[in-house]
Structure 1
Amino acid sequence: MEIVDYLRLLRRNWLVIATATLVGLLLAGLAAMFTTPTYTARTQLFVATQNSGSVLELQQGNTFSQARVASYVETAKTPVVLQPVIDSLGLDLGPSALANKISANVEGSTVLLNISVTDSSPVRSAAIAEAVANSLISAVDRLESPTKDGTSPVRLSIVTPASAPTSPASPNTALYLAAGLLLGAAIGLGFALLRSAVDTRIRGELDLRKVTGASVLGGIAYDADATKKPLLTQAPTQSPRAESFRQIRTNLQFAHVSHSSKSLVVTSSLPGEGKSTTAVNLAISLAQTGQRVALVDADLRRPMVGEYLGLDRSVGLTTFLVGQGNLEDMMQPWGTDTLHVLTSGQIPPNPSELLGSASMTSLIEALEHHYDAVVIDAPPLLPVTDAAVLAQRVGGVVLVVGSQIVKTTDLQKSLTSLEMVEADVLGVVMNRLPAKDPDSYTYSYYSSSNTNRMADHASERLAPSTASRKDERSKDFNQIVFGEEDSAASPHYFGPRGRS
């Protein structure tokens, strides 16, 4: 992973990381609050030797004291020192338990011996420290005496008496909070990394780029109102959703400008990615430019086009494919634009066979002859083979990728199935993208840029007025978008065409 990937991971999982950090901070605060406070009292002793005071004896005595003081550190925690302390203070614990409360050390290379005692009572900790110091002085005096009546060559003196501490040594609230903060953040980051490694769903364009180099025709942000109002005509003209489809329409006109076919299939990897609404709204968007558009519901397993547009689907594609009706009679006009819809008809028991039949090929050819653009809504690629069968018979495929729905492995399988039938993938449409997120469509600023204004201006010039101006509008569009003088000499994909 590169730095940009880590930054994106942090932005994507900032809420989890922040929550884990706050939880760690809260738990650390509670631990500090409910931990019994302890107090540490300290006393300091000076170790000296008996000598006559000559320079040589002073040097020898200092060396001797430094050598002996290390032994006194361990002696301070032995029963010979601690038992008298227990007896004098009446403590209800043994020498080993008392030793756990005591720490002794030498201060650098000096002859100063520090004794610290930790206890839940500040007064008791000071009393124990003082008693240990006095008991150690007595024990050393006895242990260092050469004979019973002799004088010890070493003398210990208290230079810093123990006093009751005014503040607890533990818990250290600041240290607890810092540890909780770091631990919570580490857990949050660990969870984010694990989630990133396990969760292989496509979330945005960067994830998509890791799987395919296909062109991204556009991105559609998730809109809660789209569930109840899925059609482009139900959204405000300048809404982000409407702008997104205008952008897709414009980019699609640039995709495969040298392609002669006027038909395309809209499909996805899995159900629920929004391919039907994308097909319907793309057809509406194309019709708004003045083109004659045919929308075909070829999802013969779960047809939705008729339901979205409020059209009767009892007679439609399957009716024509089995030779029981006239195509012109089955094409249902919709809206005020030049959009005609061929609904699915009755759901057959053999959809793949019907879609792969010669009748389907003839239907597509007939529609391309009479319409400027043919948009076909096909079933998802992975559950069934219908879309792959249709992809061989049309000019190109638009693959809809639902954000946080399809996984990278599923998308790879879909692309592989299209490659196997040598389908022409015109591009990918990212659907259900978060509006404000690191995974939002990176080119969303185009919706308010000069590119869209140019496309809207082109749409206005292409708006139908009279049949006699159709060829002139086609020429104007090519001059605006492609900078061409002769549209017939330079064919483009889904550009306005008259009937053949």
Structure 2
Amino acid sequence: MDLRDYLRVLRRNWILVVAITLIGLLTGGAASVLAKPTYTADTQLFVAIQSSGSVLELQQGNTFSTARVQSYVKTVGSPAVLQPAIDDLGLEMTAEELASRVKASSEINTVLIDIAVVDQSPVQAAAIAQAVANSLVRAVDSLERPKTGGSSPVGLSIIKPAKAPSAPSAPNTRMNLLAGLAIGLAMGIAAAILRSTLDNRIRNESDLRRVTDAPLLGGISFDQEASKNPLLTQSAPQSPRSESFRQLRTNLQFANVSGHARSVLITSSLPGEGKSTTATNLSIAMAQAGLSVCLVDADLRRPMVNEYLGLDRNAGLTTALLGTSDVNDLLQPWGDDNLFVLTSGQIPPNPSELLGSEEMKHLITRLEQAFDAVIIDAPPLLPVTDSAVLSQHVGGVVVVAGSQKLRYQDLEKALAALAMVGSNVLGVVLNRIPAKGPDSYAYSYYSHEDTHVKNSGSSSTTGQKTRRRSTEGGAVTPSGVRPPTLFPGERIGGRR
């Protein structure tokens, strides 16, 4: 992962990062509130050589005292210094317990010793600090005194008496809050990276590239209104969703630059990834570009195309495969463009056998001869084998992957099923991609007037979804569209 990947992970999981950071901040504040306040009293001593000789002797004495200061600092924590202080104050503690509250230090190249004592009482902290300082003076005088008699060559003087502090030294609320903030932020970032590492859902193109090198034909931006108005004609002409399908149409033409894949099968790995809406809107986009398009609903288990387009499915694909009616009589025109729909027909008990039959292969061949493009909506790959069987009869396959929903292993299994039967995979379409955020794919370039058109688009296209239908000879023809003499079906297989 490079820097951009980490930034994308943080943007994707910013709520988690902020939440854990706030928890760390609250923990630091709670620690400050619940902790008992402690006070620190300090005192300072000066180490001097008891000499009044020449300058050279004074210099030698200063060097001597500097070297001995660190030894005196270590001596402060010994029972020889602390026990007399305990006895003087009548404290009910051992020298080891008192040593944990006393801290002695000295800066380098100085003869000053600092003693700090921590206690829950400010008065007692000052008293202990003063008692320890007095005890250190006596202990050094005793330790440095010559055995032959005489006075000690080293003398310690208290130059800063201990005073009771007016404010507690701990807890440090500001420091605790900063520490909680820093720790929470670090844990939040770590949790976001861990979550992203363990998350095996496909969200964007970089996730898709971990599974397959198949071309990304396009990304369909997520629209909350798509569930109510799924058709391309129900959106504003220049909305991100409309532009996504036009981009998919263009990229599909480049993926099929040789022109051999006149029939394209649209499928997905699992149900609910948006393959039917993608197939339907792709057909509409191609028809709007001036192509003659035939949309075939080959999902013989859960057909949806007829519901989206408001057509009758009592007679359709299964009717043609069983030989009850000719496909010329079953094609239904839709909209003002050259789009014809072959609905699923009655749901059969053996969908896989019908879709893999020679009749289906012959039907696709006839449709390819009559139309510029044949778009086939097929069932998902993993639950059933219909799409894998049918993919052998078409020119190419497009796999729809539901962003934020599909997992790596599911897409791998679906592509492996297509590869096993030798299907020509033209590419992958990422569906339900967020229009904004780290995983966005679509770009917006329309004005506020277009937004108004989008809001009124559903009412202007309602008539396309609920056209009046009349049935004659097994064919369903929307009234007011165009004369039946313009049907490409007149040319299918040279039959009338």
Query: TM class, shorter-chain normalised?
Result: 0.7 to 0.9
Q: Which runs of 5+ in 2 are unaligned?
A: 448-480
- Flag the 1:232–1:205 CA change in 2: closer, same or farther, 3 A: same
- Contact residue 238 and residue 446 of structure 2 kept, 8 A: no
Whole-angstrom distance in 2 between the partners of 1:77 and 1:336? 96
- Rounded to whole Å, the distance in 1 between the matches of 2:170 and 2:148 is 45
Give the Cα separation in 2 of the matches to 1:368 and 1:121. Answer: 94
Q: Is the 8 A contact 2:40 2:168 kept in 1?
A: yes
Cα shift at 1:183: 1.3
Query: Structure 2 CA distance, aligned partners of 1:289 and 1:107?
Result: 84
Contact 1:243 1:447 in 2 (8 A): no
**Aligned partners of 1:191 and 1:318: how far apart in 2?**
52
- Aligned to 2:61, the other structure's residue is in SS state helix
* Counterpart amino acid of residue 321 in structure 1: L
Structure 1 residue 290: deviation in Å? 4.2
CA-CA distance at 1:105 after TM superposition: 2.2
1:307 and 1:92 map into 2 onto residues whose CA distance is 88
Counterpart residue identity of residue 43, structure 1: T
**Alpha-carbon distance change, 106 to 290 in structure 1, aligned in 2, over 3 angstroms:** closer
Provide the residue aligned with 1:267 in structure 2. Answer: 267
In the alignment, which residue of structure 2 is the partner of 1:104? 104
Q: Distance in 1 between matches of 2:352 and 2:10?
A: 45
- The alpha-carbon deviation at position 92 of structure 1 amounts to 3.7
Q: Any conservation in 2 of the 1:24–1:183 contact (CA below 8 Å)? A: yes
Cα distance in 2, alignment partners of residues 115 and 187 from structure 1: 38
1:119-168 Cα offsets, whole Å, 9 max, x none, are 22333222221121112222333444446985333322111222233443
Match of 2:321 in 1: 321
| Contact 1:219/1:444 (8 A) holds in 2 | no
Residue type of the partner of 2:188? G
Deviation at 1:356, TM superposition (A): 0.9
- Output one character per residue of 1:211-251: Cα deviation in whole Å (capped at 9) or x when no partner: 33433332211112111222223323333222222222233
Deviation at 1:361, TM superposition (A): 0.8
Cross-structure match for 2:222: 222
What corresponds to 2:379 in structure 1? 379
The more displaced of 105-114 and 183-192 is 105-114
Aligned partners of 1:21 and 1:184 also within 8 Å: yes
How far residue 57 of structure 1 moved from its aligned partner, in angstroms, is 4.1
Q: What are the residue-to-residue correspondences of 1:347-366 with 2, within 5 Å? A: 347-366=347-366
Cα gap change, 1:247/1:66 in structure 2, threshold over 3 Å: closer, same or farther?
closer
The CA distance in 2 between the partners of 1:340 and 1:428, in whole Å, is 25
Larger deviation, residues 54-63 vs 41-50: 54-63
Give the 5 Å matches for 1:107-186.
Answer: 107-146=107-146, 150-186=150-186
Q: Which amino acid aligns with 1:384?
A: V
1:33 — aligned with what?
33
Deviation of the 1:187 alpha carbon? 1.1
Inter-partner Cα distance in structure 2 for 1:22 and 1:278? 42
CA, structure 1 residues 42+331, in 2 after alignment: closer, same or farther (shift >3 Å)? same
**2:295, 2:376 within 8 Å by CA — same for their partners in 1?**
yes
2:247 corresponds to 1:247 = yes
Partner of 1:444: 443
Between the aligned partners of 1:107 and 1:289, the Cα distance in structure 2 is 84
Distance 2:210 2:446 in 1: 25
Q: For 2:53 and 2:438, how far apart are their aligned partners in 1?
A: 80
Determine the structure 2 residue equivalent to 1:369: 369
Q: Counterpart in 2 of 1:388?
A: 388
Secondary structure of the residue aligned to 2:11 is: helix
Letter in 2 for 1:33: V
1:444 alignment partner, SS class:
coil
Question: What is the distance in 1 between the residues matched to 2:209 and 2:443?
Answer: 17
> What corresponds to 1:233 in structure 2?
233
In structure 2, what is the Cα distance between the partners aligned to 1:252 and 1:78? Answer: 84
SS of equivalent residue, structure 2 residue 141: helix
Note the C-alpha offset of 1:60: 4.6
Q: Are the aligned partners of 1:247 and 1:447 in contact in 2 as well (CA < 8 Å)? A: no
Deviation at 1:276, TM superposition (A): 0.8
Is there any run of 5+ residues in structure 1 with no aligned partner, and where? Answer: 449-464, 471-497
Secondary structure of the 2:175 match is helix
Amino acid aligned to 1:444: Y
**Shift in Å at residue 256 of structure 1?**
1.8
TM-score, normalised to structure 1, is 0.82
- Give the residue type in structure 2 aligned to 1:200: N
- Partner Cα separation in structure 1 for residue 59 and residue 257 of structure 2: 99
Q: What corresponds to 2:433 in structure 1?
A: 433
Q: Which amino acid aligns with 1:363?
A: L
Q: Equivalent residue of 1:429, what SS?
A: strand
Give how far 1:103 is off. Answer: 0.9
Partner of 1:483: none
Moved more, 391-400 or 235-244: 235-244
Alpha-carbon distance in structure 1 between the residues aligned to 2:446 and 2:376: 26
Q: Does the residue aligned with 1:45 lie in a helix, a strand or coil?
A: strand
| Percentage identity across paired residues of the two chains | 62
The equivalent of 1:489 in structure 2 is none
Counterpart position of 1:476 = none
**1:434 Cα offset (Å):** 0.5
| Alpha-carbon distance in structure 2 between the residues aligned to 1:172 and 1:116 | 17
**Matches of 1:254 and 1:85 in 2, distance apart?**
91
* Paired letter, 1:324: T
Which residue number corresponds to residue 7 of structure 1? 7
Q: What's the TM-score once normalised by structure 2's chain length?
A: 0.83
Q: How far apart, in 2, do the equivalents of 1:274 and 1:264 lie?
A: 16
Change (3 A) 1:84 1:340: same
Q: CA deviation at 1:265?
A: 0.6
